[in-house]
């Protein structure tokens, strides 16, 4: 298939591009380079032996987006492009709503207009709101706690209504849990600008000495060691889930959790990182962060049953590959 | 105040323009004329003695919208512009999401950019989803049943998050129940294109002989006579509510139901119409319409307490003024 991957030079998009190429699909990348680097394109070539077609465009630019649909016979879209920092979304909500909603609406419009009937959307477990785990796809969604999460919930709704109105448009909504790790080559990985928002890149920056110490937000949660428990998933497993989702897309609206189904606490992750990589990561316990919940993990059985996909890599591979990438990353 | 009224030539927008002018505000209208007619502008002049400034623009056009903010010192925005047919929103969801969300986002952006700190939004009781009446502003919102309603719920959320992020931006979300009636002059009223979606314009078209008979969707609901019960509100009362809302806008996010707090059944409304206007309206009972609920009415006490506003006109005025307008309307 010819697959348009928006945000294809970003963390999850780049790993998905590799898995698509390994499965003999052609990839066209659209990326505005706001949260990604052009060097990733060369690294994708090194890893796969194939250089994907690349357009530096913002997918909220309708005219430029349409040029891609005119020029290429596209069979499916995997839509990663979007702003993704939770904290920033609270202070700049209009930028988040505009970027993340307009991109989804225009891509859907182009798919309907040009007869592209496969759409895979990069959603998030945050759409569940605060609910008791394990989280299942058929749960009613609760109020999201920040604009970033709300853009994911709104995009899901827009895509669902579009699929209901258009028999020839099918969609898969992939709700990610906590993607970490990096490609085993060490060439690509998570490389956020500025101070990382997520735990793993923060840990690797501390291990590398670029940040002094890790702040652990709260150790008084009702969990195994008091720190927050999340369902970490290796980004390569996640990428493989996208290939399965677009290759096995059923007619209509499909929703899948992409997680491992297992929870790991902050301290368990940090200790695994130190042990596997034989390096110290100084940390201190600080107060809880507003909006954080104690425990979140997936019921991952639906994707296994319907897509034949399940996460295969564990915490050891996640911390090993994250550190390998950080050491390579200048 | 200088108030920008989007959709100011539409049904509710035009009546609100009159009440704003009567209360010594200056009105700038932005309307794309898709669901309204330019003749309404002249009628507003006849009724008020003042011709509002008018721009024929689509408020999803950022450059044209910005020209208005550059040219005028705007003190507040009342945002009515939007697509509003529930049934059509199901078949054309992307048009509804795009128009109704992008307009709200761009208007908010302009307000923040140009220091306009008062924003009144035309929302709907449909955002409550299916809940037991009376509906109160502090109820948690349930899943909406169609894309039109969802655009209202999403716009409320976008405006709420914008106000939370910007201390100088305050918003009033006005949740309308069922606006009917017309201006007492008979010059302006509800004038939908094609077959009306709402009950009252359907009734008036049948009374006028333009449509053969009224279809009443279901008489087996658990209500006084088996037909659906709604909270009808005279559009002039509704318009006055907007003036109160923008004149008394409290800092932050304000939510008000604009309804009467009383329910009226379809047959009660039709019978009142026939009696007050002394004209026959043939009707037949047909099956229920998907998505309709039995009973919906407001708890209207919050607007009375905080804004000093309550609906003053009753069903008799509503059916009288609706018919007067229809007779005048060529």
Nearest CB among A91, A141, A165 relative to B91 is that of A165
B141 and B213 belong to one structural domain: no
Q: How many domains does chain B have?
A: 2
Contact with chain B for residue A140, Cβ under 8 A? yes
A128-135 CB contacts, 8 Å cutoff, 24+ apart? A128/A175, A130/A293, A133/A263, A133/A295, A133/A296, A133/A297, A133/A298, A134/A261, A134/A297, A134/A298, A134/A299, A135/A175, A135/A257, A135/A296, A135/A297, A135/A298, A135/A299
A179: β partners: A233
B22, exposed or middle or buried, with CB in 10 Å at 0-12, 13-18, 19+?
middle
| B330 pLDDT more than 80 | no
B248 and B135 belong to one structural domain: yes
A102 and A136 belong to one structural domain: yes
For residues A51 and A35, give the distance between their C-alpha atoms in angstroms, rounded to a whole number.
20
Contact with chain B for residue A164, Cβ under 8 A? yes
B117: domain range?
2-181+232-260+298-311
For A27, the token pair is 């990839």
Return the pLDDT at B282: 97
CATH number at residue B105: 3.40.50.720
For B221, the token pair is 């609901």
For residues B319 and B330, give the distance between their C-alpha atoms in angstroms, rounded to a whole number.
19
- SS3 of chain A: the string is CEEEEECCCCHHHHHHHHHHHHCCCEEEEECCCCCCCCHHHHHHHHHHCCCCEEECCCCCCHHHHHHHHHHCCCCEEEECCCCCCHHHHHHCHHHHHHHHHHHHHHHHHHHHHCCCCEEEEEEEHHHHCCCCCCECCCCCCCCCCCHHHHHHHHHHHHHHHHHHHCCCCEEEEEEECEEECCCCCCCCCCCCCCCCCCHHHHHHHHHHCCCCCEEEECCCCCCCCCCCEECEEEHHHHHHHHHHHHHCCCCCEEEEEECCCCCEEHHHHHHHHHHHHCCCCCEEEECCCCCCCCECCECCHHHHHHHCCCCCCCHHHHHHHHHHHHHHCC
A208 and A101 belong to one structural domain: no
- Are the beta carbons of A325 and A201 closer than 8 angstroms? no
Contact B161 A143 (CB under 8 A): no
Residue B193 inside a domain? The answer is no
B169 and B285 belong to one structural domain: no
Q: What is the pTM of this model?
A: 0.96
Is the preceding omega at residue A134 within 30 degrees of 0, hence cis? Answer: yes
Q: Name the residues of B annotated as catalytic.
A: 148
Return the pLDDT at B191: 86
Q: Which residue of A has its CA nearest to B91?
A: A165
Question: Residues 165 to 194 of B: which have CB under 8 A from any A CB?
Answer: 165
Query: Which residues 6+ apart lie within 8 Å of B302 measured at CB?
Result: B136, B137, B255, B256, B257
Look at phi and psi of residue B143 and say left if phi exceeds 0, alpha if psi is from -120 to 50, else beta: beta
Residue B53 inside a domain? The answer is yes
Smallest Cα distance from A128 to chain B, Å: 13
A291 and A306 belong to one structural domain: no
For residues B131 and B141, give the distance between their C-alpha atoms in angstroms, rounded to a whole number.
9
CA distances from B210 to B91, B168, B194, B205, B281 (A): 26, 50, 11, 5, 11
- Cβ contacts of A98 on chain B, cutoff 8 Å: 102, 105, 109
Return the pLDDT at B290: 81
What's the N-to-C CA distance of chain A in angstroms?
Answer: 35
Contact A165 B98 (CB under 8 A): no
B148 and B210 belong to one structural domain: no
Residue A269 inside a domain? The answer is yes
Residue B188 inside a domain? The answer is no
Return the pLDDT at A196: 86
- Are the beta carbons of A261 and A300 closer than 8 angstroms? yes
Contact with chain A for residue B94, Cβ under 8 A? yes
Nearest CB among A92, A105, A150 relative to B97 is that of A105
CA distances from A287 to A85, A268, A284, A295 (A): 20, 18, 10, 17
For A289, the token pair is 């962060």
Return the pLDDT at A58: 98
Contact with chain A for residue B87, Cβ under 8 A? no
Q: What is the ipTM of this complex?
A: 0.94
Distance, CA of B155 to chain centre: 15
For B165, the token pair is 């992020």
Contact with chain A for residue B126, Cβ under 8 A? no
Inter-chain contacts counted by CB atoms under 8 A, chains A and B: 64
Distance, CA of A323 to chain centre: 19
Distance, CA of B209 to chain centre: 26
- Annotated catalytic residue within A148, A232, A256, A297: A148
Phi first, then psi: give them for residue A173, nearest 5 degrees: -100, 115
Contact with chain A for residue B63, Cβ under 8 A? no
Smallest Cα distance from B158 to chain A, Å: 7
Residue A118 inside a domain? The answer is yes
A204 and A88 belong to one structural domain: no
CATH number at residue B222: 3.90.25.10
Contact A165 B102 (CB under 8 A): no
A104 and A155 belong to one structural domain: yes
Residue B251 inside a domain? The answer is yes
Contact with chain B for residue A158, Cβ under 8 A? yes
Contact with chain B for residue A82, Cβ under 8 A? no
Residue A190 inside a domain? The answer is no
Q: In chain A, which stretches have pLDDT less than 70?
A: none
Reported as a single tens digit per residue, the pLDDT across B126-175 is: 999 999 999 999 999 999 989 999 999 999 999 999 999 999 999 999 99
Contact B143 A140 (CB under 8 A): yes
**CA torsion, ordered A104, A106, A110, A112, to nearest 10 deg:** 60
For residues B95 and B89, give the distance between their C-alpha atoms in angstroms, rounded to a whole number.
8
Contact with chain A for residue B143, Cβ under 8 A? yes
- Are the beta carbons of B233 and B258 closer than 8 angstroms? yes
Q: Which residue of B has its CA nearest to A112?
A: B94
B274 and B244 belong to one structural domain: no
- Are the beta carbons of A71 and A57 closer than 8 angstroms? no
Residue B283 inside a domain? The answer is yes
Look at phi and psi of residue A147 and say left if phi exceeds 0, alpha if psi is from -120 to 50, else beta: alpha
Contact B112 A101 (CB under 8 A): no
Nearest CB among B91, B93, B112 relative to A158 is that of B93
Contact B98 A108 (CB under 8 A): no
Reported as a single tens digit per residue, the pLDDT across B169-185 is: 999 999 999 999 999 99
Contact A165 B101 (CB under 8 A): no
A55 and A41 belong to one structural domain: yes
Q: How many CB atoms lie within 10 A of CB B175?
A: 23
Calculate ∠ Cα B262-B268-B269, nearest 5°.
Answer: 80
Calculate ∠ Cα B225-B229-B234, nearest 5°.
Answer: 125
For residues B67 and A240, give the distance between their C-alpha atoms in angstroms, rounded to a whole number.
48
> For tokens 């509906």, what's the residue?
B135
| B106 pLDDT more than 80 | yes
B22 and B132 belong to one structural domain: yes
Contact B161 A140 (CB under 8 A): no
């Amino acid at each position: 298939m010819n697959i348009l991957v928006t945000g294809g030079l970003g963390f999850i998009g780049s790993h998905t591009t590799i898995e698509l190429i390994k499965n003999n699909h052609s990839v066209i990348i659209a990326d505005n380079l706001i949260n990604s680097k052009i060097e990733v394109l060369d690294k994708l070539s090194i890893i796969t032996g194939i250089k994907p077609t690349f357009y530096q465009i913002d997918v909220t630019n309708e005219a430029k987006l349409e040029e891609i649909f005119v020029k290429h016979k596209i069979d499916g879209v995997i839509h990663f492009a979007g702003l993704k920092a939770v904290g920033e979304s609270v202070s700049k909500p209009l930028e988040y709503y505009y970027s993340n909603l307009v991109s989804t609406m225009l891509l859907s419009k182009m798919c309907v207009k040009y007869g592209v009937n496969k759409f895979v959307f990069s959603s998030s477990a945050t759409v569940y709101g605060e609910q008791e785990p394990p989280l299942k796809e058929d749960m009613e969604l609760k109020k999201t706690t920040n604009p970033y999460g709300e853009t994911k919930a709104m995009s899901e709704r827009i895509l669902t209504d579009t699929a209901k109105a258009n028999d020839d448009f099918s969609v898969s909504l992939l709700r990610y849990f906590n993607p970490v790790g990096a490609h085993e080559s060490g060439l690509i990985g998570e490389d956020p600008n500025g101070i990382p928002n997520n735990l793993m890149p923060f840990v690797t920056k501390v291990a590398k000495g670029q940040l002094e110490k890790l702040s652990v937000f709260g150790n008084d949660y009702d969990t195994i060691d008091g720190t927050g428990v999340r369902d970490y998933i290796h980004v390569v497993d996640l990428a493989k889930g996208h290939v399965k989702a677009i290759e096995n897309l059923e007619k209509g609206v499909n929703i899948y959790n992409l997680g491992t189904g297992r929870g790991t606490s902050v301290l368990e992750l940090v200790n695994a990182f130190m042990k596997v990589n034989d390096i110290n990561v100084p940390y201190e316990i600080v107060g809880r962060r507003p909006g954080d919940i104690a425990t979140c993990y997936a019921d991952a059985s639906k994707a296994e049953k319907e897509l034949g996909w399940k996460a295969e890599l564990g915490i050891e591979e996640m911390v090993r590959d994250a550190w390998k990438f950080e050491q390579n990353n200048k």
